[in-house]
């Protein structure tokens, strides 16, 4: 079964964000290669995350460290997938509303 946006939302909601909130970082640094975006064929990725998933997760990370968030593009292999995911993350950073068809369960910590 491929790793999908729904799987990623669930993992971040139940594992990553609770730990990150407890740690209370001063700044959040993200190495954004976007290999998990749908469009990267195995073995370069092979996952099925949507660009909107990255946008939604960026918004969640913005709630940490008083909004001090750095996204650093560090690679990727499919230009369209990289562009779509980068645009979605930048849109989130600019404060644009993130619209996803089926939002994950409520993010509770």
pLDDT in tens, 1-47: 566 778 777 888 899 999 999 999 999 999 988 888 887 777 766 77
Residues 44-76: tens digit of each pLDDT: 667 788 888 899 899 999 999 999 999 999 877
pTM for the structure as a whole: 0.82
Q: 41 vs 44, 48, 62, 78, CA distance in Å?
A: 6, 10, 29, 9
Which bin fits 6, alpha (ψ -120 to 50), beta or left (φ > 0)? Answer: alpha
Which residue blocks in 32-75 are alpha helix, DSSP H? 51-61
Query: For the residues of 76-92, what is the DSSP string, one character each?
Result: -S-HHHHHHHHHHHHHH
Go through the chain and tell me how many residues it has.
Answer: 109
């Amino acid at each position: 079964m491929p790793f999908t946006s729904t799987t990623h939302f669930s993992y971040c909601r139940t594992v990553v964000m609770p730990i990150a909130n407890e740690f209370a970082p001063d700044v959040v640094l993200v190495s954004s290669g976007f290999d998990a975006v749908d469009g990267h064929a195995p073995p370069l990725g092979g996952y099925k995350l949507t660009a909107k998933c990255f946008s939604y997760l960026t918004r969640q990370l913005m709630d940490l460290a008083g909004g001090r968030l750095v996204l650093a593009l560090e690679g990727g292999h499919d230009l369209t997938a990289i562009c779509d995911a980068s645009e979605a993350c930048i849109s989130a950073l600019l404060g644009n509303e993130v619209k996803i068809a089926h939002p994950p369960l409520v993010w509770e910590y």
